[in-house]
Amino acid sequence: MDTTALRSSYDRLLDVAAIPDLGNAADGGWNADQILAHILSVDAGIASVALGVVSGARPAFDNRISLDTWNLDRIIAEHSGRVELIDHVRSQATVLCDIADQLNDTAAAVLVPSFLLSNDALVLDQPIPLADLIDGLAENHVPAHTRQLLDLRVPGNT
């Protein structure tokens, strides 16, 4: 797989995450740390699925654990602050991209049963090719969370 777009998406996200004084969401949504914890959870899940496919397993992907506030709080508590969260996202994104770079066409085409929720709405409940699951990070998931982080900028501190 070609992960050029995915790596670029992560670079942009990490640049935005490093903006000082990101505030809270006006709508009561996630703060920057929760967004980063969510990304860590999603990325670990997708990396696990990709490695499972390569090993011959037929894993499924379900993003509900990455939406669970208890799980997000647990991930945040395991880090000493935003800088450490950002560093962990950076290293895990590299691992995920490195795994994806090594997928052959056969592995990338394996159908992965996938269940995705977003804002309490069902987005997907069907098998999709592993490549589409990974490419969806670059095409939708990471850019959406980058915009979400940008929305947390405190007026006057941009």
pLDDT in tens, 84-122: 999 999 999 999 999 999 999 999 999 999 999 998 999
The whole-number pLDDT of residue 24 equals 86
The whole-number pLDDT of residue 156 equals 65
The whole-number pLDDT of residue 154 equals 82
Average pLDDT over residues 1-27: 94
pLDDT tens digits, one per residue of 32-84? 999 999 999 999 999 999 999 999 999 999 999 999 999 999 999 999 999 99
Residue 6 clears pLDDT 70, i.e. is over it? yes
The whole-number pLDDT of residue 128 equals 98
The whole-number pLDDT of residue 157 equals 55
The whole-number pLDDT of residue 111 equals 98
Average pLDDT over residues 117-128: 95
Contacts with 15 (C-beta within 8 Å, 6 or more apart), sequence order = none
CATH 2.60.40.1220 fits 4-150, yes or no: no
At residue 25 the predicted structure's pLDDT band, cuts being 50, 70 and 90, is: confident
